[in-house]
Structure formats: C-alpha cells, structure tokens
Amino acid sequence: MTSNTSETPNPTLDASDNASIAESESVAEQPGVASTAELQAKISALEDALLRVKADYQNLQRRSTTERIEAVRYANAELMRSLLNALDDLDRALAVSGDATLDATVAGVRLVYENLQKALADNGLEVIESKGEVFDPAIHQALMRQPTDGHPPGTVIEQVARGYRLRDRVLRPARVVVAAPPIDGGQPPEAETENAF
C-alpha cells in the first residue's frame, strides 16, 4: 500500500488542513521558490558575512585608536625638529664663549634667538602685540592700572611680558599695564595693582 498525501486527502484532517498541505507542497515544487535547505545555506552565508564585517570593524577601531595614540605621542615631532637648529647654535655659542669677545657672544646669542623665533613662527606661534592697543581680556592680563593723561583709559601703555598665540588659540596672554583716567588733585597716586581688574 502506497500513500500519496498530495493526491489523497487524509481522512483525519479537516478540509482546511488538507488545503494547507496541498498548497505548501505546490509552493515547494514551484520554480524560483527556495527550499528550506537553500534558505538555511543563505542564512549561514549571511551570518558568516556579518561576523567578517564585525571583525573588520573591530580591527578598524583598534587601528584608529593606535593611530590616534601615535599622533598624540609624536604631535610635536616637527616642532622639535625645527628647534634642533637653535639647539645646535646654542651648543656652538657655549663651545666658543670662553674664547670669544663680547660682540661675538652677543652675535651668537642673537643668531640663536632669531633661529628660535623662526622655528616657532614656522609652527604657528604668533606674538601678541599689545602696546598702544585697547585692553582686551581675551589676550591681555592686566598687572596694574596706571593713571595717566597721555593715553585714553583702557589703553595698554606698557607690555611687561609678551603674549603668544598658537594660530587662533591664546597660549599665554600678554602681561600689561593699562592706562587709567588721571586722579583729580595733582599728583597721581601709586599705580593700582592687578586686583583692579
């Protein structure tokens, strides 16, 4: 006795169940519809591809972290290379300082100073010029206020220490003396100290 479920309905199932079985068997026989084994193979291939992409992403993260650490570690390498000329000049100046005249020593120090300024400027360092400028707390640090008739109030009348900026960021504000309005009654009092600002 051979059983053929696609042609003979099962008497224990109702009509709707027999229709579902017949429909699923006809879908499996249609061309272009994947079987369960084919679908499992596709799922396995996609899972494998996902694992590879995930591993590639983790490797990329690791590599970019390493590159960032290296970039920070050696960020100043170019600056250091440019300062080597100034260091060499200082070595030469110190080596001959005992035999050199005062003029030769001053000339050597001036050369070192110029080379150092050039190296720093080549790496983006700028001097903040302050004398005669209007006081700006973003780039100036007021050490004191000096009452004066010769300058408008709020003007920088003396630069005590240069300020520097690296491109557009202030590294050190210029330390300055700021003009204050003269005090009535003759003699100006002692200059007001930093607490005035």
- pLDDT, one tens digit per residue, over 139-162 is 999 999 999 988 999 999 999 999
Indicate the pTM of the whole model: 0.55
184, part of any domain: yes
Q: Could you tell me which residues are beta bridge partners of residue 127?
A: 164
Q: Which two tokens stand for residue 61?
A: 């993260």
Q: Supply the DSSP string of 107-171, one letter for each residue.
A: HHHHHHHHHHHHHHHHTTEEEE--TTSBP-TTTEEEEEEEE-SSS-TTBEEEEEE-EEEETTEEE
Both 26 and 47 in one domain: the answer is yes
Mean pLDDT on 84-102: 76
In which order are the strands placed within the sheet that holds 156-161?
156-161, 174-180, 140-147, 192-193
DSSP-derived letter for residue 100 is S
Tokens of 76: 């100043």
Tell me, yes or no, whether 18 and 57 share the same domain: yes
Per-residue pLDDT of 11-29, as tens digits, reads 555 555 555 555 555 544 5
Instruction: Report how far residue 182's alpha carbon sits from residue 153's, in angstroms, rounded to the nearest whole number.
Output: 9
pLDDT value for 31: 53
Kindly state the average pLDDT of the residues 23-46: 74
- The answer to whether residue 55 sits within a structural domain is yes
Number of helices followed by number of strands (H, E) in the chain = 4, 7
Q: Is residue 162 part of a domain?
A: yes
Q: What is the pLDDT of residue 11?
A: 52
Q: Is the pLDDT of residue 43 over 50?
A: yes
Domain boundary among 123, 138, 158: 123
| Residue 163, number of CB atoms within 10 A of its CB | 20
Q: How far apart are CA 195 and CA 177, in angstroms?
A: 12
Is the same domain home to 182 and 140? Answer: yes
Question: With contact defined as beta carbons under 8 Å apart, do 135 and 156 qualify?
Answer: yes
Evaluate whether residue 37 is within a structural domain: yes
Instruction: Quickly list DSSP for 21-48.
Output: HHHHHHHHHSTTPPPHHHHHHHHHHHHH
**Domain CATH number, residue 180:** 2.30.22.10
Q: Are residues 31 and 48 in the same domain?
A: yes
* Domain count of the fold of the chain: 3
More confident of the two residues 113 and 33: 113
How far apart, in whole angstroms, are the C-alpha atoms of residue 76 and residue 67? 15
CB 119 within 8 A of CB 84: no
Alpha carbon of 106 to those of 40, 73, 94, 103, 138: distances in Å? 85, 36, 12, 5, 36
Q: Are residues 116 and 142 in the same domain?
A: no
Domain residues for the domain of 139 are 126-196
pLDDT given at position 9: 52
